[in-house]
Amino acid sequence: MPGLLLGDVFPDFEAETTTGKIKLHEFLGDSWAVLFSHPRDYTPVCTTELGRAARLHSEFSKRGVKMIALSVDCLEDHHGWTTDILAYNCEEFDGCSLPFPIIADSQRELAVALGMLDPDEKDKDGMPVTARCVFIIGPDKRLKLSLLYPATTGRNFDEILRVVDSLQLTAGRKVATPADWRPGDCVMVPPSMSEEEAASLFPDGVYTKDLPSGKKYLRYTPQPEEHLVLSLIEAENKKNNNTNLMHSDVYSIFHCNENTYITVNFSH
């Protein structure tokens, strides 16, 4: 995606969408966001993708993530196609409208600016259409992740949700998530961290795997439970416009049969 690198401030723009005109940064506010493009309306793979995105919307919302789609189709087509998506979803999603807007970029201005066009996929007029892009944008409006899929390969929105979990967990924390990580799994200690610092930061312990090289870089520690608690507290703060909840006052944590239970008291 030319000109747009991880860590860059994501471009602000105005656009017409299925829910009205938006300014992107204003729409995002202080939320995380997933902006994803699709090749064309009224196509099979795209219908399954936006259907899956709609079914997972509540999961993204729980994580403070806003969703917004984009293609080079017009608003009229977006609105008409939405009824097909809802019909496809009828057995698993009871919404009467898509829970996120779709940008109409019929002039391809945004698609060009964001590097979304697929030169191998063209419409009936021979014009390139949008590829299956995914941009994850942080609350600081900076690009945290970008993915680019060909038209023939539908995206796994469960994987995108997993990536969001990883990005949110590791933001501001000195940990990384290994291959196939899921929330609740152990995380990894970066090799740049000394053993002394690791022992101080991770009171639940650090496990180092012995390797033939003798190098002690493969280090694991339990996922910081504070991340789970703060997610609940931040959501409640937003709901009540309250910034005064004290972490030590409002929650307790206990373990039972390999499960972790968090009790949060929001009456303080």
pLDDT at position 15 over 70 = yes
3-class DSSP state for residue 57? helix
The letter for the amino acid at 2 is P
Residues 112/125, Cβ–Cβ less than 8 Å = no
pLDDT at position 98 over 60 = yes
Q: How many domains does the chain have?
A: 2
Whole-angstrom distance, CA of residue 190 vs CA of residue 177: 10
Q: Is residue 110 part of a domain?
A: yes
Whole-angstrom distance, CA of residue 1 vs CA of residue 147: 9
Domain end point (choices 115, 140, 158):
158
Are 38 and 135 in a shared domain?
A: yes
Looking at every residue in the chain, the average pLDDT score rounds to 84
pLDDT band of residue 236 (cuts 50, 70, 90) is low
At 230 the pLDDT is 52
Domain end point (choices 158, 177, 205):
158
Are 49 and 142 in a shared domain?
A: yes
Domain end point (choices 138, 158, 178):
158
At 244 the pLDDT is 47
At 119 the pLDDT is 80
Are 148 and 231 in a shared domain?
A: no
Percent of the chain with pLDDT over 90: 65
Catalytic residue status for 46: yes
Backbone angles phi, psi at 113, to 5 degrees: -60, -35
Write down the catalytic residue from 46, 74, 96, 133: 46
Are 230 and 97 in a shared domain?
A: no
pLDDT at position 161 over 60 = yes
Average pLDDT over residues 68-81: 95
Residue 177: C-alpha distances to residues 25, 71, 166, 182, 209 (Å):
29, 32, 6, 9, 16
Q: Is residue 5 part of a domain?
A: no
Average pLDDT over residues 236-253: 48
**CA-based end-to-end distance of the chain:** 47
Range of the domain at 37: 14-158
Cα 34 to its chain centre, rounded Å, is 5
Q: Is residue 185 part of a domain?
A: no
Q: Is residue 213 part of a domain?
A: no
**Of 18-32, 65-79, 86-100, the least confident:** 86-100
pTM of the model: 0.80
At 13 the pLDDT is 96
Whole-angstrom distance, CA of residue 133 vs CA of residue 154: 11
Average pLDDT over residues 33-55: 95
Residue 106: C-alpha distances to residues 1, 35, 75 (Å):
20, 17, 9
Q: Is residue 202 part of a domain?
A: no
pLDDT at position 81 over 90 = yes
Helix residue ranges, H only, the chain: 24-28, 44-55, 57-62, 75-88, 109-113, 157-170, 195-201, 225-240, 247-250
Domain CATH number, residue 107: 3.40.30.10
Average pLDDT over residues 63-89: 94
Query: Which of the residue ranges 85-89, 129-133, 162-166, 183-187 has the most confident prediction, judged by mean pLDDT?
Result: 162-166
3-state secondary structure labels for all residues of 99-148: CCCEEECCCCHHHHHCCCEEEEEECCCCCEEECEEEEEECCCCEEEEEEE
pLDDT band of residue 253 (cuts 50, 70, 90) is very low
Higher pLDDT, 131 or 234: 131
Are 108 and 234 in a shared domain?
A: no
Cα dihedral sign, 268-246-31-36: negative
pLDDT at position 225 over 80 = no
What's the burial of 129, exposed, middle or buried (CB within 10 Å: 0-12/13-18/19+)? buried
Average pLDDT over residues 126-136: 88
As beta bridge partners, residue 23 has 14
Q: Is residue 206 part of a domain?
A: no
Are 113 and 238 in a shared domain?
A: no
Higher pLDDT, 95 or 256: 95
Are 241 and 122 in a shared domain?
A: no
